[in-house]
Amino acid sequence: MAAFLTALDVDQLMAEPTAKVRAEVAEKVAADLSRDTLTSAELALCQSIVRILARDVEESVRASLSRGLRHSQNLPQDIARKLAEDIEDVALPILADSLVLTDKDLIEIVRLGSSEKQEAIAGRPNLTENVTDALITHGEEPAVTVLMGNKTAAITDHSLNHAVTRFADSKPVKEAMVRREKLPTSVAERLVTMVSQALQAHLVSAYDLAPETVAKIVLASREQVTIRLSAGASEDDLNEMVRQMHSAGRLTPSVILRALYTGDIAFFEAAMAARGDVPIANARILIHESSRRGLEALHKKASMPEPLYRLVRAAVDVVDGTGFTGDDRDLASFRSRVITRVLTLTETAEAADADCILDNLWDVLICKSMELA
């Protein structure tokens, strides 16, 4: 811990004003300014000395001052800003820790500063949404990677989506985002898609697999993860994710059927509403209307493949006939009943239709053994 400034230090500075002595004085003045017991006169004197030392031509003097003042609440805001705009060795301690800097200061430095300065800001505790938005908009990859690993940073859903778009090709940023404690469901779904694309390219090149085989494996894995994400989402988040998937062409009949057959009725309802371009409340009425004419009409309006209607109706019949609510305790029974119903259908179906039904059922159920880490 630095000693406090004494009259002897002042005498030495007057007699030998070298950079080394000035750096030692800067360190001691910084220690003085960090005390809570200063009188008004002492505080004013220390701040005056700090103003002079902050303009010192020697980097070592300004760096000593910055290190010593990084946690000081008595540091004048204009001096904090001056040190923060200095070269990296001087600026980084202040940027990382000083609470004297305002959001406006931080945002301007993010916009105009170096990658190292952005990275120091990104690691600060309790960053506000305005600062994190500036980092995601203007920051370079290392800073945004640090930001995504900052558990105390407040980041809006809009900014997280912007980060996914801007750093779509950045493995460090995406990996840091995946490890965040909580992500909006719509953001998580987009990340799943990107990771899957990378996995597909790796499998094709590393294992010499047929691209169509790899695509099927990756698609099934991605759909399974997507459904797991939807299971923990609020109704608003689920609807947003489904709309996003539909807009991007990812709300496929396959993922809809998989959701239905794994008991995610809410996803199925939202997906059919999105593909059919009807309000969610109307879709629920059509899906669960007892004659099933509404379900059949919505199936057509949603441009779902005709052979899949038997699968869809079988599952909806089980849902409505058993009062299934998606509870984990009923899930195994639900799946068993659906499979039994579908296998019964294949006994009376035409050969081509039966093959189609069994193929699609297999695609849905095979992923039960493909749990992702």
Indicate if the pLDDT at residue 268 is higher than 70.
yes
Predicted local confidence at residue 373, as pLDDT: 32
Highest mean pLDDT of the ranges 14-28, 57-71, 158-172, 207-221: 158-172
Indicate if the pLDDT at residue 200 is higher than 60.
no
CB within 8 A of 264, min separation 6: which ones? 227, 230, 231, 326
Angle between helices 265-276 and 253-261 (to 10 degrees): 150
Indicate if the pLDDT at residue 78 is higher than 50.
yes
The Cβ of residue 119 has, within 10 Å, a number of other Cβ atoms equal to 23
Extract long-range pairs of 165-169: CB within 8 Å, 24+ residues apart: 166/136, 166/137, 167/141, 168/194
CA distance 181 to 110: 25
28-37, 40-49, 111-120: least confidently modelled range: 28-37
Indicate if the pLDDT at residue 369 is higher than 50.
no
Predicted local confidence at residue 49, as pLDDT: 78
In contact, 147 and 153? CB cutoff 8 Å: yes
pLDDT band with cut points at 50, 70 and 90 for residue 199: low
Mean pLDDT, range 361-367, rounded to an integer: 50
Please indicate whether residue 82 or residue 320 has the higher confidence score (pLDDT): 82
Would you call 369 exposed, middle or buried from its count of C-beta atoms within 10 A (0-12, 13-18, 19+)? exposed
Predicted local confidence at residue 52, as pLDDT: 80
Predicted local confidence at residue 26, as pLDDT: 67
Place of tokens 């805001």: 77
Highest mean pLDDT of the ranges 64-73, 279-288, 300-309: 279-288
pLDDT band with cut points at 50, 70 and 90 for residue 204: low
CA distance 216 to 196: 11
Highest mean pLDDT of the ranges 126-130, 176-180, 185-189, 241-245: 126-130
Mean pLDDT, range 57-78, rounded to an integer: 86
pLDDT band with cut points at 50, 70 and 90 for residue 295: very high
CA distance 268 to 274: 10
Instruction: Outline where 70-210 has alpha helix (H).
Output: 77-84, 88-97, 103-112, 115-122, 129-138, 141-148, 157-166, 171-178, 185-207
Predicted local confidence at residue 264, as pLDDT: 83
Indicate if the pLDDT at residue 88 is higher than 90.
yes
Mean pLDDT, range 52-64, rounded to an integer: 83
Indicate if the pLDDT at residue 348 is higher than 70.
no
Q: Percentage of the chain with pLDDT > 70?
A: 71
Indicate if the pLDDT at residue 286 is higher than 80.
yes
Indicate if the pLDDT at residue 371 is higher than 50.
no
Task: Give which of 137, 110, 138, 140 is closest to 124, Cα–Cα.
Answer: 110
Indicate if the pLDDT at residue 280 is higher than 60.
yes
105-119, 144-158, 177-191, 216-230: least confidently modelled range: 216-230
Indicate if the pLDDT at residue 165 is higher than 80.
yes
Mean of the per-residue pLDDT values for the chain?
80
Please indicate whether residue 324 or residue 371 has the higher confidence score (pLDDT): 324
Mean pLDDT, range 38-43, rounded to an integer: 78
Task: Give which of 255, 302, 258, 262 is closest to 278, Cα–Cα.
Answer: 302
Predicted local confidence at residue 232, as pLDDT: 67
Indicate if the pLDDT at residue 221 is higher than 50.
yes
Residue-wise over 60-71: b if at least 16 C-beta within 10 A, else e?
A: ebbbbbbbbbbe
- Residue ranges with strand state E in 222-372: none
The Cβ of residue 352 has, within 10 Å, a number of other Cβ atoms equal to 9
Predicted local confidence at residue 19, as pLDDT: 66
Predicted local confidence at residue 237, as pLDDT: 86
228-232, 271-275, 302-306: least confidently modelled range: 228-232
